[in-house]
Chains A and B, each alone.
Chain A
């Protein structure tokens, strides 16, 4: 059921010219920006890292706007009530949407690497190539779970897109996708440690440039499981609350 739901949502997203074009173009622009910035900073040896970071930024954007937009889209289409009425746990209905956004975001990661290779000659010399693939899969799944946790709060929020629009750059920044966490104020450290995006980015960076990948992968996976648990509980709670208050539509 999860697989079919994910496939259905991926197909639905692929039918939207808006979604397709944004998914095609924006990651490439971000990758180009990252490459020129790193070149300007004389960090040519870190261009692969920059491309991976930019790709991960694209994955997060896809999950964030996909998860937030999914709930809002369901609401606008008038189908939110129906999917919440389905005789299944709400998490089993919403999870395919967030996982689908993570899968479509995979394109961003692949596109930035391909773009970097073709146009800028960035050599795809991963120190741990197998670990990179595993870390990428774990990271995308983790982002999907994180998206589920966010989506559970978006169900109750009328202005969910206010939060989605505001969360793009903060997560990019605090997770260290392109900006190392070490240059940020110290108080952001504990916050960053709680995010699956931080550990996913770290795992990918370590697989790219060298370092202990598996501990980061394990932490990322662990936090994603916590996101799944809390997201599931949260969805059940907000569904009951929305039913009691008759506020699900919030039209």
Chain B
């Protein structure tokens, strides 16, 4: 119970303190308007090239929009502690640092889910996409699982912030690569095999596929395998993040490089 409280309350407090985009203007501009136009950009491009239908681009990009909050949030969750000089205090805590940092992924996942829902709703309304009402709960589930997997992915990148100074480079490049490798904008059949393979180990890939199945009315049973794979990917990144945080914490203590800016 105490650990659960540490993860949830600690995560919320860290979100409020460390996430740079909580001010309304920045939140709306960066996390809502920008992703919406990203969806519109690829939807119109897809229409013009006739690569895939609107559902492919709208649903896929809506799920992908969670990456902004999740990837950068995870990076900020660790990187900003270092920037503000509070990292040492966190790592000195007698509580489980694994629980502390893993809990930080939760608000970002929630934020990512909100962005995905808003983007899907507005994008589908603007572009005239309809999907079955019975698919809504499944779509929410797919976006939630995708957001959580992406949040743990972001936390894994954030763990690098304990070791490397310019972790923002990694997060920016990661967001760009997710655009390409998750099969959200280029169907998997049009990508080289090695890119598809890499994409299978990235967040969002399977969640987007599941969301498309659900939006097409194929039901939760059809989407379940993809959702399961996304959950596994998320779990893998959660474990990787925990391991990396532990390793880099130990290394930073040993070399006294924790507060190196």
Known: A43-B49, A162-B29, A183-B47. Is A26-B187 also a contact (CB below 8 A)?
no
Interface status of A74 (Cβ within 8 A of chain B) = no
Known: A169-B34, A183-B48. Is A33-B185 also a contact (CB below 8 A)?
yes
Does A40 contact B168, Cβ atoms closer than 8 Å?
no
Tell me the residues in window 142-189 of chain A with beta carbons closer than 8 Å to chain B beta carbons: 159, 161-163, 165-166, 168-170, 172-173, 178-180, 183-184
A161 CA to B34 CA, complexed, in Å:
12
Tell me the residues in window 168-193 of chain B with beta carbons closer than 8 Å to chain A beta carbons: 168-169, 172-173, 176-177, 179-180, 185-187, 189-191
The 3 closest A-B pairs by CB, nearest first: A41-B49, A162-B29, A40-B190
* Closest partner residue, chain A, to B165 (CB atom): A17
Bin the interface of chain A by size.
20 to 34
Does A173 contact B172, Cβ atoms closer than 8 Å?
no
Does A184 contact B44, Cβ atoms closer than 8 Å?
yes
Q: Show the binding face of B for A, using Cβ within 8 Å.
A: 23, 25-26, 28-30, 33-34, 37-38, 40-41, 44-45, 47-51, 166, 168-169, 172-173, 176-177, 179-180, 185-187, 189-191
Does A41 contact B34, Cβ atoms closer than 8 Å?
no
Besides A37-B49, A37-B51, A165-B29, 20 more A-B contacts (Cβ < 8 Å) are A17-B166, A18-B172, A22-B172, A26-B176, A37-B185, A39-B190, A40-B49, A41-B51, A159-B25, A159-B26, A162-B30, A163-B29, A166-B29, A166-B30, A166-B33, A172-B41, A173-B37, A173-B44, A178-B45, A179-B48
A18: chain B residues within 8 A (beta carbon): 166, 168-169, 172
* Closest partner residue, chain A, to B179 (CB atom): A33
Q: Nearest chain A CB to B52's CB is how many angstroms away?
A: 8
B186: chain A residues within 8 A (beta carbon): 33, 36-37, 40
Does B29 contact A170, Cβ atoms closer than 8 Å?
no
A43 CA to B23 CA, complexed, in Å:
43
* Closest partner residue, chain A, to B31 (CB atom): A165
A22: chain B residues within 8 A (beta carbon): 169, 172-173
Does B49 contact A168, Cβ atoms closer than 8 Å?
no
A3 CA to B49 CA, complexed, in Å:
42
Interface status of A8 (Cβ within 8 A of chain B) = no
A65 CA to B41 CA, complexed, in Å:
19
B189: chain A residues within 8 A (beta carbon): 40
Does A162 contact B28, Cβ atoms closer than 8 Å?
yes
A17 CA to B167 CA, complexed, in Å:
11
* Closest partner residue, chain B, to A16 (CB atom): B166
Which of B33, B44, B45 has the most chain A CB atoms inside 10 A of its CB? B45
Q: Nearest chain A CB to B182's CB is how many angstroms away?
A: 11
B190: chain A residues within 8 A (beta carbon): 36-37, 39-40
* Closest partner residue, chain B, to A161 (CB atom): B26
Tell me the residues in window 26-67 of chain A with beta carbons closer than 8 Å to chain B beta carbons: 26, 29-30, 32-33, 36-41, 43
Q: Nearest chain B CB to A155's CB is how many angstroms away?
A: 16
A245 CA to B243 CA, complexed, in Å:
51
Q: Nearest chain A CB to B235's CB is how many angstroms away?
A: 27
Does B44 contact A183, Cβ atoms closer than 8 Å?
yes
Q: Nearest chain B CB to A241's CB is how many angstroms away?
A: 19
Q: Nearest chain B CB to A24's CB is how many angstroms away?
A: 9
A22 CA to B50 CA, complexed, in Å:
30
A37: chain B residues within 8 A (beta carbon): 45, 49, 51, 185-186, 190
B168: chain A residues within 8 A (beta carbon): 18
Q: Nearest chain A CB to B118's CB is how many angstroms away?
A: 14
B166: chain A residues within 8 A (beta carbon): 17-18, 21
A33 CA to B45 CA, complexed, in Å:
12
Does A30 contact B169, Cβ atoms closer than 8 Å?
no
A25: chain B residues within 8 A (beta carbon): 173, 176
> Contact partner of A173 among B23, B30, B41, B47, CB < 8 A?
B41
* Closest partner residue, chain A, to B38 (CB atom): A169
Q: Nearest chain B CB to A199's CB is how many angstroms away?
A: 20
A162: chain B residues within 8 A (beta carbon): 23, 25-26, 28-30
Q: Nearest chain A CB to B186's CB is how many angstroms away?
A: 5
Known: A17-B169, A38-B49, A40-B187. Is A29-B30 also a contact (CB below 8 A)?
no
A180 CA to B177 CA, complexed, in Å:
24
A211 CA to B248 CA, complexed, in Å:
57
A-B contact pairs, 9 of them (CB 8 A): A22-B173, A29-B176, A29-B180, A30-B176, A33-B185, A37-B185, A40-B49, A162-B25, A165-B29
Q: Nearest chain B CB to A94's CB is how many angstroms away?
A: 22
B28: chain A residues within 8 A (beta carbon): 162
A173: chain B residues within 8 A (beta carbon): 37, 40-41, 44
Q: Nearest chain A CB to B36's CB is how many angstroms away?
A: 8
A180 CA to B34 CA, complexed, in Å:
20
